[in-house]
Amino acid sequence: MAGGTDARAAFDLVGDDELGVVLVHGFTGTPFEVRYLGERLAQAGFTVHAPRLPGHGTRVEDLDATRWQDWAGAVDRAVDALQQRCRRVAVVGQSLGGLLALHLASRRTDIACVASLAAPLWLEGLSAKVARWTRPGGVLQRVRTIPKLGGSDVRDPRAKAANPCYDAIPTRALGELMAFMKITEDALPAVTQPLLVLHATQDHTAPVACATRIAKRARAVRMRILPRSYHLIAVDVERDIVAAEVIQFLKTSGGTPCAT
């Protein structure tokens, strides 16, 4: 980040007033995760708004006090605000941000198009075990936070070092994420807007099979699986491919909001 900019802060980048893009970061993350993509979109002429989700970018305890409805409400408000500046609005989300974009599109027909970047419909491996162990009745149900072992799931060492995400996960908020994954999966057939799905084979957080299910149930117009990146594909080693895919998708699919 240049010029002392707070990498955790929400940001706005001004383009034209035709198609605006709301960029949504992931769970325990910040707008840093979508800043590079946002800058590329602005260079392509799009107006960009990237909110910081409630409970994120401050203290882990703040995230522990939030619910999925708080995150969804923040994205609703971000879209409403951008609609005051642009004729049409698209939503692009990384991880939890992808879930929020899909969930929003299932409820609002005034969204032009949607891109889901590495959205999880379920977790596998240690993440799934931790979620099970810390829920009510689990062996670790009294544990309030768990360390994020290994840091963020990014292959690029510079992006990984610069990422100001939380170094721990509040278990109550993790339970909210798990519940929201199921809610979003159930809502996928109601998504009628053009949809782009991007994911990475080596994602250690969201199984790559999630992409196939999202694409099938929400009838994606394009799905691409990246061979080298990990989870945070918008800032990882194939970030330029991600940016190019999103820009092309917005130019070809963002022309007309879906009919009511």
CATH superfamily of 11-253: Alpha/Beta hydrolase fold, catalytic domain (3.40.50.1820)
Identify whether the C-beta of residue 199 lies closer than 8 Å to the C-beta of residue 61. no
With residue 102 as reference, give the H or E element that holds it. Answer: helix 96-107
> For residue range 18-76, what is the model confidence (pLDDT) as tens digits?
999 999 999 999 999 999 999 999 999 999 999 999 999 999 999 999 999 999 999 99
Mean pLDDT for the stretch of residues 198-223: 97
Element at 19 (helix H, strand E)? strand 19-24
Strand order in the sheet with 19-24: 11-13, 47-50, 19-24, 88-94, 111-117, 195-200, 222-226
Sign of CA dihedral 177, 153, 188, 104: positive
pTM: 0.92
pLDDT in tens, 106-162: 999 999 999 999 999 998 765 666 666 566 656 556 667 887 878 899 999 999 999
pLDDT of residue 260 exceeding 60: no
pLDDT score, position 257: 38
Q: In the chain, where are the structural domains located?
A: 11-253
95, pLDDT greater than 90: yes
